[in-house]
Structure formats: structure tokens, C-alpha cells
Amino acid sequence: MEGLLGLITDRRLQGLFGIKAGTRWREIGLFGKVRPGLVNFQNKLYVVCVTAPCPPLTSSQTELALNLGAAIEFYPSRRLALRFDVGDLWIGGTGNDFLRTDDVRITRDLGHNLQVNAGVGIRF
């Protein structure tokens, strides 16, 4: 692939659904979560060929996923909640193709992925 200049874009979309179970006190709550779902990877390599026009090389792949984690919620008032959670996202398959065509194959090894989230909840 002589005379090739490229830009790689990477998009991930995940859909996870599951349960949160734990205990809640007056000002704090502690929870565990189990959420199975799917993760979709879409990758595109934009190329500029010197000798001929080149279309972008694309790849899309969907894998099974499982998110296990814990959350802590703080209740500073009756209508406000602050939530912090941490989880380990397991993605099925460890040899996912990052980009694959007849000419190019780049692989990314996936397994455990740390996810940390924070949020604010308002009750009506």
C-alpha cells in the first residue's frame, strides 16, 4: 500500500440492560449491578492514495458484553441524588478485528474495560 496516507476514526456504541440491587439509608445508598448487553465497534480508515482514488476502508462488529460493578449514591436533599459508579465491562472475544479488509488487518485485543461514571438525579 505504497503512497498511502490515512486517518482512522473509531466509534463504540453499547447497550446494557440489567439490575441494580443494594441498600439505601437516609443519606447514602450502596448498590451492586449486573448488566448484560451488546457493544458495537465501527471503524473507518480514510485514505488518500497518490496513484488512484481510494474509498474508505470500514469495519463494523458487534460483541456480547457484561458489566459488573458497584455504585454509591449520596442524597444531600429529598429531591437530589449524586451517583458514582465503577464497573468492569467484559467484552466477549479477545481477538476482535479493529480493521480488516483484503489488504489490511489490524487487530485489537479486548477483555476487561474499566468504566467510571458520575451523575446527578433530580426527583420530581
pLDDT above 70 as % of the chain = 76
Classify residue 87: in a domain, yes or no.
yes
CB-based contact 105:91 (threshold 8 Å): no
Total count of domains within the chain: 1
Classify residue 54: in a domain, yes or no.
no
Classify residue 9: in a domain, yes or no.
no
pLDDT digits (tens, 9 = 90+) for 3-36: 445 567 778 888 999 999 999 999 999 999 999 9
**Band of pLDDT at residue 119, cut at 50, 70 and 90:** very high
- More confident: 23 or 63: 23
Buried b (16+ CB within 10 A) or exposed e, 28-46: ebebebebeeebebebbbe
